[in-house]
Chains A and B, each alone.
Chain A
Amino acid sequence: MNKLKLLNRYSAAITFLAFEFFALIAFSYSGSFVLFGSLSLALCVLLILFNIGEIKAKGLSNVALFFIPLFIFTLLTAVGNYNLFYVMNNNYKYFTWGETVFIILGLLPMAFNGYLLSIDRNFKLKTFIVVIFSALAVYVLINFVYNLINFGAFYPVFYKNFYLYYNGIKSEVAVNEMAYVLEGFKFIEVKMSHYVLYPLLLLSSSVMLLFTSPKKEKGYFFTFLAFTILAIFALTFIPSLLSLTGLGVIAVLVLIIYLGKTYVKTRKAFKIILIALVTLFLLGYLFYVIVVSTGISNSFTGFLKRLFVENRFSKLINPNLEGIFSSSKFLGFAGWEVNYWPYFELSYPTGFFIFDTFMTSGVIGALAIFIFIFLGFNSFKKYFHSHKDEFRLQATLLLFLIVFVGYSAFFNEVDYALYYRVVRPLYLTAPFSIMIFMFSYVICKSRADEVKVVEEKKEEVTNA
């Protein structure tokens, strides 16, 4: 009996450790993928040790299926042409073997942590949400204040055509398109789109406000109110087209979630609109990828040419898509040569995660991660029905994931630092790890419930 008590205590301590660990990631130790990859692995081992009984009881077979796409993605990314080129080429050593190993040994355990914590009795989603957003809030606050100290409030408006010389060189972008963020222990100048991501992620916690009573849960309400205000300040005091659009989009999403929850009639309408929009987007996306990758787009003329070839987005994206089904590019490729006379270097991914993944992970790897993300979002249906967690927490998870996936799909800066060489594809970033965890948690939580229901039905049948 005593042994069991002791085990429970240890188990609780491990869960607490998990919270601390997630706080560390949410605080965006972006330079240290190896650090949180190894932590993820260690945590996974500890959680397995202390939850072995639970794992045996619940079984793995029901959820194992969902890890297959992620396994394929991590494996193909790690051994893909893109990663290996930059690990092994002495002139372009952007990645290390450590990072390569932890793409598999960091992201997969991260997903498994999602499963383990979904069956862990000590794990409370409410605490997890508070921890994640608190750490994120600290990070956003530090960045926000540092930017104000350096350039002052509303600097993108006041200093539109001003440049910051660094090491004697004029910066690539004007001050209105740059910001400071904390990276590791140092503040670095980054492109605005990298700064905006974190306040937007923080803002996704605002959905909590609509379903939390300021009287009954005062502390809780005001914590999230502070997060929301901070996020809005960080976006509006350093305004950019991206930050203000993001603010508007999230406000609409929050409103949709609120209306969908409160009015059953609107829920159905939203569902239809959502399915229609997603289908349209997917069809358009697939069509674009196929047309460009097979080279059909080259024969287009007139309007179609402008739509598929002759616009500034296509000029960026298309080189990453051309010939991806050929044998040399099927498993990813390092990039195409960009000539900066008298030097040349290799192109970076373009910032569109939905297109870059073909470059970084190959066709199959890209499909695998897209399937994983789709399964994750799809699981929310069951997850909402399961009532295992409070609705507001579920909605916050959903909004966080929508914001992250939606934003990264189009604005994921891979070389975000202005004055340092940083090449960080999405899969090496902190929010991606959190995304993997959240999806995995949602998938497993919704599945576990289903298993239970099936088992209960079986029991009912046998009892009858």
Chain B
Amino acid sequence: MRKRIKYLLILPLTAIVSCGYSTSYLVEGDKYVSANFKENYYKVWNDELTSAKKEAPINVSSESYIYDYGYYGNVTLNGFGSIDPNYFDKDPLLEEYGQEFKMVGVDDSFRYGYQSKLFDGQLVCGAQNGQDGQDGRPDYRYQKGRVQTAESGFSVRFSKESNELQYFALQFKASTDNTREYYTIGGNEYDRQPDDALYHDSSIELKITLFLKNNIEIIGYPFLVDVDFDNNTTNVGTHYTFIAFDLNKYKTDTFAFTRLVGVSIEYEVLSDALIDYNKNEKGVPDISYDDYALFLYEMFFPYTSWN
């Protein structure tokens, strides 16, 4: 009898190994690709990061390197700082930049989950034009290369830990629910046609929190970046904002940015000319800052190694 009991142990053993480690990466059905703009916000927060202790925010706007480019806007460089330009000598729009620094190239664990859109090396929505996608399969993504975020943001918990951090970079653009309405350029008013681009003259305060692990706990280090979008277009894939900053600046003799285990991105909309115009001048009743979104395309930690 005793011997037979031994065989019964197989069942609990099976239950134990059934930990469903990858189920957190699963996304139900057509979530985030709905025709309804408001349903596509990615708002997933990792519990461990939400409850983590947070340090006082560090303002990086004056020392950051902000690079804005596109067909319609002029290239503007704000507060170039002392960053080594060689680290960003490639045009971020170019595919090579994404391919060189993409996080999925660091480790396979970055390849999984909805957030892998931020790590796949695709910097723009219609990237890899005329080329095959990953491993020779055709790339069907087009406009789906982005993660649509609300002000409340989201967080990503990595399964890897970084060594000493070097740089942080982010590629994104501003947007609203673009089924609406009126906009102005140079004082002329336009009624938006279905395929027209919308132009955002808006400013936000971006809060990027890096979660570092020590022997006891995880601590969040928020970085505040002021971003001004100058004629940032929503549905034409050529106008993006790229920010990058040097984390070496914030290191001290006793504190280095090591063991990064997660990142969260939040923001606050300070103003948006399009929303204000529709609401105040044209009296469109249902437009508000709730319809604002940040489209994130890619997040990098260039020159950082991971364990």
Determine the residue in chain A with the shortest Cβ distance to B27.
Answer: A163
User: A167: CB under 8 A from chain B?
Assistant: yes
Contact residues in A for B114 (Cβ distance below 8 Å): 165
How far is the CB of A222 from the nearest CB of chain B, in Å? 10
Determine the residue in chain B with the shortest Cβ distance to A222.
Answer: B7
How far is the CB of A148 from the nearest CB of chain B, in Å? 5
Whether B140 lies near A166 (C-beta < 8 A) is: no
Whether A166 lies near B141 (C-beta < 8 A) is: no
Whether B14 lies near A421 (C-beta < 8 A) is: no
Whether A167 lies near B26 (C-beta < 8 A) is: no
Give Cα A176 to B139, complex, Å: 23
Give Cα A378 to B27, complex, Å: 50
Contacting residue for B140 out of A150, A153, A340, CB 8 A: A340
Determine the residue in chain A with the shortest Cβ distance to B7.
Answer: A229
How far is the CB of B196 from the nearest CB of chain A, in Å? 23
How far is the CB of A427 from the nearest CB of chain B, in Å? 22
Whether A150 lies near B17 (C-beta < 8 A) is: no
User: A169: CB under 8 A from chain B?
Assistant: yes
Whether B141 lies near A164 (C-beta < 8 A) is: no
Contact residues in A for B133 (Cβ distance below 8 Å): 167, 169
Contact residues in A for B112 (Cβ distance below 8 Å): 164-166
User: A223: CB under 8 A from chain B?
Assistant: no
Contacting residue for B23 out of A151, A229, A340, A342, CB 8 A: A151
Whether A152 lies near B23 (C-beta < 8 A) is: yes
Whether A421 lies near B135 (C-beta < 8 A) is: yes
Instruction: Say whether, besides A153-B15, A161-B29, A167-B120, A421 and B138 are in contact (CB < 8 Å).
Output: no
Determine the residue in chain A with the shortest Cβ distance to B137.
Answer: A421
Contact residues in B for A150 (Cβ distance below 8 Å): 20-23
Contact residues in B for A170 (Cβ distance below 8 Å): 27, 33
Q: Considering the complex, which residues of chain A in the window 156-173 have a beta carbon less than 8 Å from any beta carbon of chain B?
A: 159, 161-170
Whether A419 lies near B138 (C-beta < 8 A) is: no
Contact residues in A for B116 (Cβ distance below 8 Å): 165-168
Whether B134 lies near A419 (C-beta < 8 A) is: yes
Contact residues in A for B139 (Cβ distance below 8 Å): 169
Q: Considering the complex, which residues of chain A in the window 161-215 have a beta carbon less than 8 Å from any beta carbon of chain B?
A: 161-170, 175
How far is the CB of A343 from the nearest CB of chain B, in Å? 4
Whether B135 lies near A152 (C-beta < 8 A) is: no
Whether B23 lies near A159 (C-beta < 8 A) is: yes
Give Cα A148 to B138, complex, Å: 31
Whether A169 lies near B29 (C-beta < 8 A) is: no
Contacting residue for B136 out of A151, A229, A342, A421, CB 8 A: A421
Q: Considering the complex, which residues of chain A in the window 314-343 have a beta carbon less than 8 Å from any beta carbon of chain B?
A: 340, 342-343
> A451-464 vs B: 1/0 string, CB under 8 Å?
00000000000000
> A131-168 vs B: 1/0 string, CB under 8 Å?
00000000000000100111111010001011111111
Whether B111 lies near A155 (C-beta < 8 A) is: no
How far is the CB of B34 from the nearest CB of chain A, in Å? 13
Whether B120 lies near A168 (C-beta < 8 A) is: yes
Contact residues in A for B28 (Cβ distance below 8 Å): 161-163
> B1-29 vs A: 1/0 string, CB under 8 Å?
00000000010001101111111011111
* Total count of chain B residues near the partner, CB < 8 A: 39
Whether B26 lies near A175 (C-beta < 8 A) is: yes
User: B145: CB under 8 A from chain A?
Assistant: yes
User: A67: CB under 8 A from chain B?
Assistant: no
How far is the CB of B24 from the nearest CB of chain A, in Å? 11
Whether B135 lies near A168 (C-beta < 8 A) is: no
User: B104: CB under 8 A from chain A?
Assistant: yes
Contact residues in B for A175 (Cβ distance below 8 Å): 26
User: B200: CB under 8 A from chain A?
Assistant: no
Give Cα A151 to B17, complex, Å: 10
User: A420: CB under 8 A from chain B?
Assistant: yes
Contact residues in A for B33 (Cβ distance below 8 Å): 170
Give Cα A161 to B120, complex, Å: 24
Contact residues in B for A165 (Cβ distance below 8 Å): 25, 27, 112-114, 116-117
Query: Of A161, A168, A419, which is in contact with the most chain B CB atoms at under 10 Å from its CB?
Result: A168
Whether B122 lies near A152 (C-beta < 8 A) is: no
Whether B26 lies near A149 (C-beta < 8 A) is: no
Give Cα A229 to B113, complex, Å: 34
Give Cα A148 to B13, complex, Å: 11
User: A389: CB under 8 A from chain B?
Assistant: no
User: A233: CB under 8 A from chain B?
Assistant: yes
Contact residues in A for B122 (Cβ distance below 8 Å): 168
How far is the CB of B8 from the nearest CB of chain A, in Å? 12
Give Cα A169 to B138, complex, Å: 11
Contact residues in B for A163 (Cβ distance below 8 Å): 26-29
Q: Considering the complex, which residues of chain B in the window 116-148 have a beta carbon less than 8 Å from any beta carbon of chain A?
A: 116-120, 122, 130, 132-141, 145
Contact residues in B for A370 (Cβ distance below 8 Å): none
Give Cα A447 to B31, complex, Å: 62
How far is the CB of A96 from the nearest CB of chain B, in Å? 15
Contact residues in B for A345 (Cβ distance below 8 Å): 138
User: A21: CB under 8 A from chain B?
Assistant: no
Give Cα A340 to B118, complex, Å: 25
Whether B14 lies near A237 (C-beta < 8 A) is: yes
Determine the residue in chain B with the shortest Cβ distance to A229.
Answer: B10
Give Cα A38 to B45, complex, Å: 52
How far is the CB of A177 from the nearest CB of chain B, in Å? 13
How far is the CB of A137 from the nearest CB of chain B, in Å? 14
Whether B141 lies near A169 (C-beta < 8 A) is: yes
Determine the residue in chain A with the shortest Cβ distance to B102.
Answer: A167
Give Cα A343 to B136, complex, Å: 11
How far is the CB of B249 from the nearest CB of chain A, in Å? 31
Contact residues in A for B136 (Cβ distance below 8 Å): 421
Whether A151 lies near B132 (C-beta < 8 A) is: no
How far is the CB of B182 from the nearest CB of chain A, in Å? 34
Given contacts A150-B20, A164-B22, A343-B132, 14 further A-B contacts (CB under 8 A): A150-B22, A153-B18, A159-B26, A161-B28, A161-B29, A162-B28, A164-B26, A164-B27, A165-B113, A165-B117, A168-B118, A168-B141, A170-B33, A421-B137
Residues of B within 8 A of A (CB): 10, 14-15, 17-23, 25-29, 33, 104, 111-114, 116-120, 122, 130, 132-141, 145
Can you list 11 contacts pairing A with B, beta carbon distance less than 8 Å? A153-B15, A163-B27, A163-B28, A166-B111, A167-B104, A168-B120, A169-B120, A169-B139, A169-B141, A170-B33, A343-B132
4 pairs of A and B residues whose beta carbons are closest in the complex:
A152-B20, A168-B117, A168-B120, A150-B22
